[in-house]
Amino acid sequence: MKRSPEIGRIIAYFFIIVSPVAIFIAINFKTQGPFLVKIADGSALLAFAIFTMQFVLSARLQWIERPFGLDRIFRFHKLMAIVAASLLLVHPVMVAAGDEEFGWSLLFSFRLPWAVLLGKATLFTVMVTAIVGLCRRIFKIEFQKWLLSHNALAILILIAGFVHGSIVGPDLKNHVLRGYMVFALKPVSEIFCVLVHIGAKLEIAY
C-alpha cells in the first residue's frame, strides 16, 4: 500500500509518453510504406513525448516529487534524456535504411529538403544539449546560466522537431495525432518550462 502513490505516478508517466506511439501504430501500421521507416517514425515520436515530459520531471512539483524524492527524480530525468537521445540517434539510421528516395544520402548529404536539414540540425542540438547537461560540472558552467540555456534549447528542440515531423514524416501529418501533440503535450512542456525558471532558485546537485 505504501508503494501505490509511486506506482500510480509511474503508470501515468509511461501512459503519457507511450500513448502518441500507440495512436501512431493504430493509424499508420496498416498503411503501405517501408517498415523500417515506420519504426524510425515511432522512435522519434516516443523521443518527442519523453522530451516533453522532461519539463514535468524538472518542475519540482510536490505531487511528483514527494513519493520519490528530488534526487531520484533528477536521476530518472537524466536517464530518460539519454533514452530519448538514443531513440533520436536510431531514427535517421533506420529512415536511411528504409527510404527508397534518398537512401543513405539522408545521413551524409546536405543537398536535401529544408525540413530534412532541420531534422539534422535538431538532432545535433539534442546531442550538444545532452552532452553539456551531463558534463556541466566538468565544463564548469554556472547552474543558473546552464538552466536558462538548457530550457531555451529544449523548447527550440520541441518546436523544430514538431515542424520536422509535420512536414517530413507521416506521424504528425495525421490530424488526430497532431492534435494530441499540440493540445496535450506541447502546452505542458511550455508551462512547466516557465515553472522551472520561476521555481529553481537554489542550485540542485545535478
- Tell me, what's the pLDDT at 166? 80
Q: Which residues contact 58 (CB under 8 A, 6 or more apart)?
A: 74, 77, 192, 196
Instruction: Determine the Cα angle at 130 with ends 124 and 131, to 5°.
Output: 90
Percent of the chain having pLDDT more than 70? 77
pLDDT at 192 over 70: no
- Whether residue 30 is contained in a domain is answered as yes
pLDDT at 86 over 70: yes
Query: Between 77 and 194, whose confidence is greater?
Result: 77
- Whether residue 205 is contained in a domain is answered as no
Q: What is the CATH number of the domain that holds 50?
A: 1.20.120
- Tell me, what's the pLDDT at 119? 92
- Whether residue 151 is contained in a domain is answered as yes
Which tens digit of pLDDT belongs to each residue from 127-178?
Answer: 999 899 888 888 888 888 888 888 888 888 888 988 888 888 665 666 666 6
C-alpha cell at 163: 515542424
For residues 157 and 99, give the distance between their C-alpha atoms in angstroms, rounded to a whole number: 24
- Tell me, what's the pLDDT at 196? 52
- Tell me, what's the pLDDT at 120? 94
- Whether residue 90 is contained in a domain is answered as yes
Contacts for 150-153: CB closer than 8 Å, 24+ residues apart:
151/55, 151/193, 151/196, 151/197, 153/125, 153/129
Calculate mean pLDDT across residues 83-96.
93
Which tens digit of pLDDT belongs to each residue from 9-53?
Answer: 888 889 888 988 888 888 776 667 778 888 888 899 899 889 888
Percent of the chain having pLDDT more than 90? 18
- Whether residue 206 is contained in a domain is answered as no
- Whether residue 129 is contained in a domain is answered as yes
What is the domain range of residue 25? Answer: 4-199
- Whether residue 96 is contained in a domain is answered as yes
- Whether residue 172 is contained in a domain is answered as yes
- Tell me, what's the pLDDT at 140? 86
pLDDT at 188 over 70: no
Confidence of residue 191 (pLDDT cuts 50, 70, 90): low
Please, what is the average pLDDT of the chain?
80
pLDDT at 205 over 50: no
Among 100, 123, 109, which Cα is nearest to 51's?
123
Query: Between 192 and 103, whose confidence is greater?
Result: 103
- Number of domains, the chain: 1
For residues 53 and 188, give the distance between their C-alpha atoms in angstroms, rounded to a whole number: 8
For residues 95 and 176, give the distance between their C-alpha atoms in angstroms, rounded to a whole number: 23
